[in-house]
Structure 1
Amino acid sequence: MSQSTILHQADKQRFVILIDDQQALLEYQIEDEHIDFNRTYVPDALRGRGLAERLVRHGLKWAKAQQLTISASCWYVQKFLR
Protein backbone atom coordinates (compact mmCIF):
# COMPACT_ATOMS: atom_id res chain seq x y z
CA MET A 1 0.00 0.00 0.00
CA SER A 2 1.25 3.44 -0.87
CA GLN A 3 1.85 5.88 1.94
CA SER A 4 1.57 8.87 -0.36
CA THR A 5 0.64 12.12 1.28
CA ILE A 6 -2.97 13.29 1.25
CA LEU A 7 -3.15 16.86 0.02
CA HIS A 8 -6.02 19.14 0.98
CA GLN A 9 -6.83 21.44 -1.92
CA ALA A 10 -9.30 23.65 -0.07
CA ASP A 11 -9.66 26.04 -3.01
CA LYS A 12 -10.96 23.11 -5.10
CA GLN A 13 -12.86 21.53 -2.17
CA ARG A 14 -11.11 18.19 -2.38
CA PHE A 15 -8.54 15.86 -0.87
CA VAL A 16 -6.04 14.28 -3.28
CA ILE A 17 -3.47 11.50 -3.34
CA LEU A 18 -1.10 11.92 -6.29
CA ILE A 19 0.74 8.82 -7.54
CA ASP A 20 2.59 8.60 -10.87
CA ASP A 21 0.79 11.68 -12.26
CA GLN A 22 -2.61 10.19 -11.43
CA GLN A 23 -4.99 11.50 -8.80
CA ALA A 24 -7.28 9.71 -6.38
CA LEU A 25 -9.89 12.20 -5.14
CA LEU A 26 -12.40 12.87 -2.40
CA GLU A 27 -14.52 15.89 -3.30
CA TYR A 28 -16.82 17.86 -1.05
CA GLN A 29 -18.96 20.98 -0.81
CA ILE A 30 -19.20 23.20 2.24
CA GLU A 31 -22.16 25.43 2.94
CA ASP A 32 -22.21 27.32 6.23
CA GLU A 33 -21.30 24.73 8.89
CA HIS A 34 -22.25 21.71 6.76
CA ILE A 35 -20.05 19.52 4.56
CA ASP A 36 -21.30 17.08 1.93
CA PHE A 37 -18.80 14.53 0.65
CA ASN A 38 -20.13 14.10 -2.87
CA ARG A 39 -17.58 12.12 -4.89
CA THR A 40 -14.71 9.69 -4.62
CA TYR A 41 -12.64 8.73 -7.64
CA VAL A 42 -9.68 6.39 -8.01
CA PRO A 43 -8.18 5.75 -11.47
CA ASP A 44 -8.20 2.10 -12.59
CA ALA A 45 -4.40 1.85 -12.32
CA LEU A 46 -4.52 2.86 -8.63
CA ARG A 47 -7.47 0.73 -7.50
CA GLY A 48 -7.13 -2.02 -4.92
CA ARG A 49 -4.66 -0.07 -2.76
CA GLY A 50 -7.12 1.30 -0.20
CA LEU A 51 -6.72 4.87 -1.42
CA ALA A 52 -10.42 5.74 -1.37
CA GLU A 53 -10.71 4.49 2.21
CA ARG A 54 -7.67 6.53 3.26
CA LEU A 55 -9.13 9.64 1.63
CA VAL A 56 -12.53 9.18 3.27
CA ARG A 57 -11.13 8.53 6.74
CA HIS A 58 -8.85 11.58 6.40
CA GLY A 59 -11.68 13.79 5.13
CA LEU A 60 -14.06 12.74 7.89
CA LYS A 61 -11.41 13.33 10.55
CA TRP A 62 -10.72 16.79 9.12
CA ALA A 63 -14.44 17.67 8.96
CA LYS A 64 -14.94 16.60 12.59
CA ALA A 65 -11.97 18.72 13.65
CA GLN A 66 -13.63 21.69 11.90
CA GLN A 67 -16.85 20.89 13.83
CA LEU A 68 -18.82 20.62 10.59
CA THR A 69 -22.10 18.75 10.25
CA ILE A 70 -21.28 15.83 7.95
CA SER A 71 -23.34 14.19 5.22
CA ALA A 72 -22.50 12.21 2.11
CA SER A 73 -24.24 12.10 -1.23
CA CYS A 74 -21.46 9.74 -2.37
CA TRP A 75 -22.47 6.10 -1.81
CA TYR A 76 -18.93 5.10 -0.84
CA VAL A 77 -18.63 7.73 1.89
CA GLN A 78 -22.08 6.80 3.20
CA LYS A 79 -20.68 3.39 4.23
CA PHE A 80 -18.38 5.14 6.73
CA LEU A 81 -21.21 7.16 8.28
CA ARG A 82 -23.37 4.19 9.26
Structure 2
Amino acid sequence: MKRKLLYVLLLTAGTIGSASAQTDQEMLDRIKNEGLERSQVMATAFQLTDVAGPRLANSPGLKRAQDWAVNALKPGAQ
Protein backbone atom coordinates (compact mmCIF):
# COMPACT_ATOMS: atom_id res chain seq x y z
CA MET A 1 0.00 0.00 0.00
CA LYS A 2 2.76 2.44 0.93
CA ARG A 3 4.67 1.49 -2.20
CA LYS A 4 1.63 2.27 -4.39
CA LEU A 5 1.17 5.65 -2.69
CA LEU A 6 4.84 6.48 -3.19
CA TYR A 7 4.60 5.49 -6.86
CA VAL A 8 1.53 7.67 -7.40
CA LEU A 9 3.18 10.63 -5.65
CA LEU A 10 6.35 10.29 -7.73
CA LEU A 11 4.36 9.97 -10.94
CA THR A 12 2.29 13.04 -10.06
CA ALA A 13 5.38 15.06 -9.14
CA GLY A 14 7.04 14.10 -12.41
CA THR A 15 3.97 15.12 -14.40
CA ILE A 16 3.69 18.48 -12.62
CA GLY A 17 7.42 19.11 -13.02
CA SER A 18 7.39 18.44 -16.76
CA ALA A 19 4.26 20.54 -17.28
CA SER A 20 5.76 23.50 -15.47
CA ALA A 21 9.01 23.15 -17.43
CA GLN A 22 7.14 23.86 -20.66
CA THR A 23 6.89 27.60 -21.24
CA ASP A 24 4.93 29.76 -23.58
CA GLN A 25 7.59 31.88 -25.27
CA GLU A 26 5.04 34.41 -26.54
CA MET A 27 3.79 35.04 -23.01
CA LEU A 28 7.35 35.38 -21.70
CA ASP A 29 8.08 37.92 -24.43
CA ARG A 30 4.94 39.89 -23.52
CA ILE A 31 5.91 39.95 -19.84
CA LYS A 32 9.46 41.02 -20.67
CA ASN A 33 8.19 43.76 -22.99
CA GLU A 34 5.77 45.03 -20.34
CA GLY A 35 8.56 45.29 -17.78
CA LEU A 36 11.07 46.92 -20.10
CA GLU A 37 8.80 49.22 -22.12
CA ARG A 38 5.93 50.25 -19.84
CA SER A 39 7.29 49.93 -16.32
CA GLN A 40 6.06 52.48 -13.79
CA VAL A 41 8.50 51.44 -11.06
CA MET A 42 10.61 54.60 -11.13
CA ALA A 43 7.59 56.92 -11.24
CA THR A 44 6.01 55.09 -8.30
CA ALA A 45 9.27 55.14 -6.32
CA PHE A 46 9.64 58.88 -7.02
CA GLN A 47 6.12 59.61 -5.73
CA LEU A 48 6.59 57.58 -2.57
CA THR A 49 10.11 58.73 -1.70
CA ASP A 50 10.68 62.23 -3.06
CA VAL A 51 7.14 63.64 -3.15
CA ALA A 52 5.57 62.06 -0.05
CA GLY A 53 8.79 62.12 1.94
CA PRO A 54 9.42 60.20 5.15
CA ARG A 55 6.49 58.00 6.15
CA LEU A 56 6.76 57.63 9.89
CA ALA A 57 3.67 56.40 11.71
CA ASN A 58 0.92 59.04 11.81
CA SER A 59 3.02 61.60 9.92
CA PRO A 60 1.96 63.97 7.14
CA GLY A 61 4.27 62.04 4.76
CA LEU A 62 2.42 58.82 5.51
CA LYS A 63 -0.92 60.50 4.82
CA ARG A 64 0.37 61.92 1.51
CA ALA A 65 1.71 58.51 0.46
CA GLN A 66 -1.55 56.78 1.41
CA ASP A 67 -3.67 59.31 -0.47
CA TRP A 68 -1.43 59.05 -3.53
CA ALA A 69 -1.59 55.23 -3.49
CA VAL A 70 -5.39 55.18 -3.17
CA ASN A 71 -5.78 57.62 -6.07
CA ALA A 72 -3.15 55.92 -8.23
CA LEU A 73 -4.71 52.48 -7.81
CA LYS A 74 -8.29 53.48 -8.52
CA PRO A 75 -9.69 51.86 -11.67
CA GLY A 76 -9.15 54.16 -14.62
CA ALA A 77 -6.43 56.21 -12.92
CA GLN A 78 -3.33 56.69 -15.06
TM-score between the two structures when normalised by the length of structure 2: 0.28
Larger strand percent: 1
- 1 or 2, which has the higher helix percentage? 2
Q: Give me the TM-score of the superposition, normalised by structure 1.
A: 0.27
Q: Which has the larger radius of gyration?
A: 2
RCO (CA 8 Å, sep 6+): is it higher in 1 or 2? Answer: 1
